[in-house]
Chains A and B, each alone.
Chain A
Amino acid sequence: MIRFILRRLLLLIPVIIGLTMIMFAIARLLPGDPVGLAAGPNATAAERAALATEFGLDRPVWEQYATYVGGLAHGDFGTSLLTRRPVGADLAAYLPATLELVFAAMFIAVALGIPLGLITALWRNRWPDYVSQVLAIGAISMPRFFLGLLLQLCFAMWLMWLPLGGRLPIIVFPPEPITGFITLDALLTGDWQVFTTALRHLIMPAVALSLSPLATIMRMMRASTIEVMGQDYVMTARALGLPRHKILGRVIARNAVSATLTVIGLYFGWLLGGTVLVETVFDWPGLGLYATKAILSQDMMPVIGVALVIGLIFVLANLVIDLAYGLINPKVRYA
């Protein structure tokens, strides 16, 4: 098992090299004018040339690439052309916000999706099943940014139950960072007031983000439950006279969940990149908002950094899911 993990971790190296190459090709080979945008409309040719020299943008692309990868080896993600801040520090500041949002959304999706999937499978081909199918397709079809706007309109502007956006009001000091998740840190330091404030900020973006994974997990869980219910071992369990709730909980649910896990893993990585629009609507200071601002000014170093971090987490999430299979289902062997 350790060898399995090590080998999978070694695979990260070609992923890093490939990802940086693709992003570099987009950044440097497509006809953009990042220097012009960063220097501003009134900059002279000399000022632009100075900026390009400072950031090494006048060098050949392969040389820029070599410098970047060399820096990566030392944990240096380059410098933003626009803010002149080191990208690594920015990523460290914004990543926890995105992760907190994605974990919260995934929590909602799994906590509701798995039981709902089980229930609809038990009521297969009766009206609750049909209604849930229509609702699931509807949930997937709902544009997240429109849903976000509707939630804001309803709960923040009309009812005024929840804050409009952001992670914490400026006047509230965030707790000592332990995990980087404000809600969790506030709990760990026992600061109830900050916890409830942070949670109130988290609810709407997390709900807006959770809708389509919730629908997918529910449908996936329904399909695998139906498949498991037809298996011989379920009939054996029933023949042995096991009580209904035990068959459902231990035999059916456990086997059905392991098939649903893959979807959860894929969705996790997908959500990391899918937060862009939700973060924009709710002014959530995460990677998506950071990448959007950088992209709009063609400031490519932060974009490459964001793509790299999300790509790595995507690969790691799949590794964790593969390991989780083994915990749920001992029949799985790591080869």
Chain B
Amino acid sequence: MTDTSAAPAPAKARNDGVARMLYRFRQSRLSMVGAALVALVLFFAAFGPMLAPYPGHVAGGVETASRFQPPSVAHPFGTNELGQDVLSLTMAGTTVSVLAGFGVVLIGALIGTVVGAVAGYVGGWTDEALMRFTDLTLTIPGLILAMAIAAALGPGFQNMVLAISLSWWPGYARLVRGEVLAAREEVYVTAARATGAGPGRILFRHVLPNCVSPIIVKMSLDMGFAILTVAGLGFIGIGVRPPTPEWGTLLSNARSYMPDYWWTAMAPGMAMFVAVFGFNLLGDGLRDILDPKGRR
């Protein structure tokens, strides 16, 4: 009898930890607002193109008879220079922005984690060389670097994501290197080595899993900025080509018709703000529960 009650204890303790985290997360009203906004954004990213009231406009359809209609019940955010419903374009644009943002953060974190983990674990001149390269990349302004790579690679969704990712990884490399340096000295690493584990196994099975939470926190904090960068490239005219709707491109278009047809800018601009705001609030909340050290 006593044996059976003792066995599930560790699992219960872990559940308690998760429950406590959830509780703390729910206590923070701002994090909940952030989570709700992010859920909304993800919902539109998945279903936006289908839910758009004028799917024909999303596919590139033009209705020149109804150009530049001011906001009305039929078109809550008006129509643009081609007579397309701005709300539909903005809803459909969520997909590109969120996917690109995810792609950038994911690839950036992946490259950065590998670089930082190798630098921190191997040490010596490998560390020196990798970190000097990281520092150098950090001195080049991210947006200019991403723009230069994107322009050289040519237009397109994948090229844009790749270009931004290549300017995005240095922050992760520095973060992971620091974490690995600290974790390397832990007792469980010595224990793993004593049982005969090789460096690759120690690094990827023992050290890195213990560095995951700061990486996740940084990824969630970076999501908003990645979306902003994607939109920034679109605004300048690099990246996804029309007719694929994208927030930055929509805003850049609206800019040419500015004082008279101001409403064409409102929906994409506000969508950008709401999405980035949501991810930033959520990231802040996640940092508070997962990485108490980083709390400010």
Q: Do A and B bind each other?
A: yes
Contact B272 A292 (CB under 8 A): no
Tell me if B144 and A276 are in contact (CB < 8 A).
yes
Contact A310 B141 (CB under 8 A): yes
Q: CB distance B238 to A295 under 8 Å?
A: yes
A272–B142 CA distance with the chains assembled, in angstroms: 11
CB-CB < 8 A to B224: which residues of A?
140-141
Check if B153 is an interface residue, CB within 8 A of chain A. yes
A223: B residues at CB distance < 8 A: 296
Contact partners of A30 in chain B: CB under 8 A: 149, 152-153
- Decide yes or no: A146 and B272 within 8 Å by CB, A276-B236, A277-B143 being known contacts: yes
Q: How far is the CA of A228 from the CA of B189 in the complex (A)?
A: 37
Within 8 A of B (CB), among A124-165: 133-134, 137-138, 140-143, 145-146, 149-150, 152-153, 157-158
Tell me the smallest distance from the CB of B208 to a CB of chain A, in Å. 27
Contact indicator A141/B258 (Cβ below 8 Å): no
Contact B238 A296 (CB under 8 A): yes
A143 to B254, CA, bound (A): 15
Encoded as 1 (CB less than 8 Å from any A CB) or 0, chain B from 125 to 136 comes to 000000011001
Q: Given A18-B133, A295-B151, A303-B144, does the pair A280, B277 have CB atoms closer than 8 Å?
A: no
Known: A137-B280, A311-B140. A292 touches B236 (CB 8 A): yes
Q: How many A-B contacts at CB < 8 Å in the complex?
A: 139
CB distance B281 to A137 under 8 Å?
Answer: yes
User: Provided the pairs A143-B232, A146-B251, A280-B235 are in contact, do residues A292 and B281 lie with their beta carbons within 8 angstroms?
Assistant: no
Q: Are B152 and A298 touching (Cβ within 8 A)?
A: yes
The contact size tier of chain A is 35 or more
Residues on the A chain within 8 Å of B17, using CB:
none
Q: Are A26 and B149 in contact (CB under 8 A)?
A: yes
Counting CB contacts under 8 A, is B30 at the interface?
yes
Q: Is the CB of B140 within 8 A of A307?
A: yes
User: What is the predominant secondary structure among interface residues of chain B facing chain A?
Assistant: helix
| Residue B2 is within 8 A (CB to CB) of chain A in the complex | no
Q: Does residue A315 face the partner (Cβ distance < 8 Å to B)?
A: yes
Question: What residues on B are CB-neighbors of A326 within 8 Å?
Answer: none
CA distance A232 to B181 in the complex (A): 32
- Residue pair A145, B251 in contact (C-beta under 8 Å): yes
Evaluate contact between A274 and B296: CB separation under 8 angstroms.
no
B27 CB within 8 Å of chain A: no
Contact mask for chain B residues 240-252; partner A; CB cutoff 8 A; 1 contact, 0 none: 0000000010010
Contacts of A143 in B (CB 8 A): 228, 231-232, 269, 272-273, 276
Nearest chain B CB to A197's CB is how many angstroms away? Answer: 22
Given contacts A26-B148, A145-B232, A153-B262, contact A219 B296 (CB under 8 A): yes
Q: Is the pair B251, A149 in contact by a Cβ cutoff of 8 Å? A: yes
| Least Cβ–Cβ distance between B291 and chain A, in angstroms | 15
Contact A311 B149 (CB under 8 A): no
A248 beta carbon closer than 8 Å to chain B: no
Question: Which A residues touch B232, using CB under 8 A?
Answer: 143, 145, 276-277
- Among A266-294, those with CB < 8 Å from B are 269-270, 272-274, 276-277, 280-281, 288, 291-292
In the A-B complex, the 8 residue pairs with the closest CB atoms = A273-B141, A30-B152, A146-B269, A157-B259, A32-B152, A141-B277, A141-B276, A311-B139
Q: Which residues of A contact B (CB under 8 A)?
A: 14-15, 18-19, 22-23, 26-27, 30-32, 133-134, 137-138, 140-143, 145-146, 149-150, 152-153, 157-158, 219-220, 222-223, 269-270, 272-274, 276-277, 280-281, 288, 291-292, 295-296, 298, 300, 303, 306-307, 310-311, 314-315
User: B: which residues have CB within 8 A of A?
Assistant: 30, 132-133, 136-137, 139-145, 147-149, 151-154, 224, 228, 231-232, 235-238, 248, 251, 254-255, 258-259, 262, 265, 269, 272-273, 276-277, 280-281, 284, 296
Can you list 9 A-B pairs with a CB-CB distance of less than 8 A? A14-B132, A30-B152, A141-B280, A143-B273, A149-B269, A152-B258, A276-B143, A298-B151, A307-B145
